[in-house]
Amino acid sequence: SAVISQKPSRDICQRGTSLTIQCQVDSQVTMMFWYRQQPGQSLTLIATANQGSEATYESGFVIDKFPISRPNLTFSTLTVSNMSPEDSSIYLCSVEDLLLIGYTFGSGTRLTVV
Amino acid sequence: EDKVVQSPLSLVVHEGDTVTLNCSYEVTNFRSLLWYKQEKKAPTFLFMLTSSGIEKKSGRLSSILDKKELFSILNITATQTGDSAVYLCARLPNSGYALNFGKGTSLLVTP
């Protein structure tokens, strides 16, 4: 199955600052997905990142807050901008894994905003 | 509303016990239902179910989908402490790629 390297693994950030999370996949994939898991909650899709086009955001998520880059078919970044404590969550990237016939997730980034 | 509801929310069992985790949903038309195991941060894929009534099995884990009654179950036999995790169920809709996750069942297997 696809292997996704995600970093940083965790970070503690000051409110008002921004953090960029990176995901590198060991194979070319058309779409990459970014999820958020707030404490005690389930995973919620933030956006879908396609190479060569703007990311598609889900309801409740906007580009100014969560800008996404997708420069090639193996890499994507998610930036959490102007952070507040409410942004403290686990952030996960994911790809559709055609070999696995499912969706594979990166190792996750645990973000704490103080 | 397009909800995925998992039950129980949490469960404590002894090693060797068999557990059944439930996932129910409301929308009848969808592509697949997926099960994941989440130990720390990253969910790891367990099963993808597309057809009703066909059991998928991997070692001590098995799962089945009932599209008529709108639910799926995940069975774990002869549980081990390493099975302790949050088990997530997710529905993949017909259109789009957003997995719709339930809140998960937190399983603790005690020695």
pLDDT at residue A92 tops 70: yes
Burial of B11 by CB count in 10 Å (0-12 exposed, 13-18 middle, 19+ buried)?
Answer: middle
B13-19 average pLDDT score: 97
The single-letter code of the amino acid at B92 is: L
Cβ-contact A67, A91 below 8 angstroms: no
pLDDT at residue B1 tops 60: no
DSSP for residue B94: S
B22 to chain A, closest Cα gap in Å: 16
- Find the domain containing A45 and state its range: 4-10+19-105
Cβ contact (<8 Å) for A100 and B45? yes
| Domains contained in chain B, CATH given | 4-106 (2.60.40.10)
Cβ contact (<8 Å) for B34 and A105? no
Element counts in chain A: helices (H) and strands (E): 0, 11
Is A59 domain-assigned? yes
Is A111 domain-assigned? no
Domain count, chain A: 1
**pLDDT (tens digit, 9 = 90+) per residue, A55-91?**
999 999 999 999 999 999 999 999 999 999 999 999 9
Q: For A86, list phi and psi in degrees, rounded to 5.
A: -65, -15
* Closest CA relative to residue B82, chosen from B102, B105, B107, B62: B107
Is A64 domain-assigned? yes
Is A58 domain-assigned? yes
Cβ contact (<8 Å) for B40 and A92? no
CATH number at residue A67: 2.60.40.10
pLDDT at residue A99 tops 70: no
| Band of residue B28 on the pLDDT scale cut at 50, 70, 90 | confident
pLDDT at A53: 83
B105, HSE (Cβ side, Cα atoms, 13 Å) = 27
Cβ-contact B16, B111 below 8 angstroms: no
Contacts of A106 in chain B (CB under 8 A): 42
pLDDT at B26: 86
